[in-house]
Amino acid sequence: MLEPLARIGRDPATGGYVRDAWSEADMELREWFAGEAARRGLDVREDRNGNLWAWWGDPTARPGVVTGSHLDSVRQGGAYDGPLGVVSAFAALDRLKNRGVTPGRPVGVVCFTDEEGARFGVPCMGSRLLTGAIKPDRALALTDDDGDTLADVMARAGRKPYAIGRDDETLATVGTFVELHVEQGRALVDQERPVGVASAIWPHGRWRFDFRGRADHAGTTRLADRDDPMLPFARMVLAARAGAARRGVVATVGKVHVSPGNANAIPGRVSAWLDARGADECDVRQLVAELAEGLDVKEESWTAVVDFDAALRDRLARVAGGDTPAPILPTGAGHDAGIMAAAGVPAGMLFVRNPTGVSHSPDEHAEQADCEAGVVALADVLEDLCR
């Protein structure tokens, strides 16, 4: 089922995907979701934050069991991060129907909007808005690389931007949420298991560092006369790597804007985004505080550690593992399931083995047999939870 999605938002030069929220590719993916839901006779709804819901049964009568993920991508991302969870959700429902299962609770498939945050800088935007983890005014004012605000973009897409925000009516329909996702690491390879269960999500955040200097000519300005912001930027990158190694966390600078961006000019400004994560929140915070000393830094997002519900976690491991409970492992990657769990929704995650551990890259991969094992595990979990 991933094949129909393979052409949407794909860069033929790299094989990677560019599926920004509210872009043409995103709108096409939304149409695909609605079509797959309609083909199965599911009731499709879009909430006021742009998240899509497809229901088997009436969730207003009784809160349902929801599965799904997202369809947007990081820029030049892979085919599995997000879409595997949505495709597997539909496939799991097909399997339940083929088994003749009549669920005792409504079953839903969700596609959260803008999980990656590639366009506006804040990850898990759809689930954050849904749960009230981000204020509408802040979200609407966020800008993309072209200077367009989220409010502008949503309005052009025919939505009502000033209706966004915490949605208790929709939240009330979600009794339990289980997200299937391709593993973003190699733990399952080492354990020789196709499917695993998440125990927790590391605390993580994004910070914008702005370095200001003076634009000048690259050939006529003496070194002693230069105010080049690239130098403190470079020192920050090196310090981030060294500080992360000392504390046992990870730190990445993966996005940089240089202004004015001329090859023959000293830049006047450098903006860089730091992503920092680790098992211990204090270690992450201390690293950022050390790097930020004396600099212009803005925190753009922060997610505290999320420990998934222990009873649900163990239940998923038991049901999804077959004869032997599925391995339980933490993750350094953020997910909508983490946002839902932090808001008090019973939530858990299944991981499908990634043979290389590579993610957020065109080289991201999962074997067909492991994907099928994930669908079987998800169907078993849904059947168990819907009794």
Q: What is the Cα–Cα distance from 80 to 351, expressed in whole angstroms?
A: 12
User: Quick one: tokens of 236?
Assistant: 């920050």
Q: How many residues does the chain have?
A: 387
Residue 123, SS3 per DSSP = coil
Q: Residue 254: its pLDDT value, please?
A: 96
Q: Residue 368: its pLDDT value, please?
A: 96
Q: Residue 184: its pLDDT value, please?
A: 95
Q: Residue 4: its pLDDT value, please?
A: 87
Paired with 349 in beta bridges are 179
Single pTM value for the model: 0.92
- 3-state secondary structure labels for all residues of 330-344: EECCCCHHHHHHHCC
Q: Residue 36: its pLDDT value, please?
A: 98
Q: For 258, phi and psi rounded to 5 degrees?
A: -115, 130
Residues contacting 2, CB < 8 A, separation 6+: 79, 80, 83, 84, 87, 371
Task: Give all strands (DSSP E) within the chain, no chain letters.
Answer: 43-46, 52-56, 64-70, 107-112, 174-182, 195-201, 204-212, 216-217, 250-259, 265-266, 269-277, 296-303, 306-307, 328-331, 347-352
Q: Residue 99: its pLDDT value, please?
A: 97
- 3-state secondary structure labels for all residues of 252-295: EEEEEEEECCCCCEECCEEEEEEEEECCCHHHHHHHHHHHHCCC
Q: Residue 65: its pLDDT value, please?
A: 98
Please check whether residue 334 is in contact with residue 201, taking contact to mean a CB–CB distance below 8 angstroms.
yes
Q: Residue 3: its pLDDT value, please?
A: 86
Q: Residue 74: its pLDDT value, please?
A: 96
pLDDT in tens, the chain (387 residues): 788 898 999 999 999 999 999 999 999 999 999 999 999 999 999 999 999 999 999 999 999 999 999 999 999 999 999 999 999 999 999 999 999 999 999 999 999 999 999 999 999 999 999 999 999 999 999 999 999 999 999 999 999 999 999 999 999 999 999 999 999 999 999 999 999 999 999 999 999 999 999 999 999 999 999 999 999 999 999 999 999 999 999 999 999 999 999 999 999 999 999 999 999 999 999 999 999 999 999 999 999 999 999 999 999 999 999 889 999 999 999 999 999 999 999 999 999 999 999 999 999 999 999 999 999 999 999 999 999
Q: What is the Cα–Cα distance from 297 to 272, expressed in whole angstroms?
A: 10
Q: What is the Cα–Cα distance from 363 to 356, expressed in whole angstroms?
A: 9
Q: How many CA atoms lie within 13 A of 119 on its CB side?
A: 28
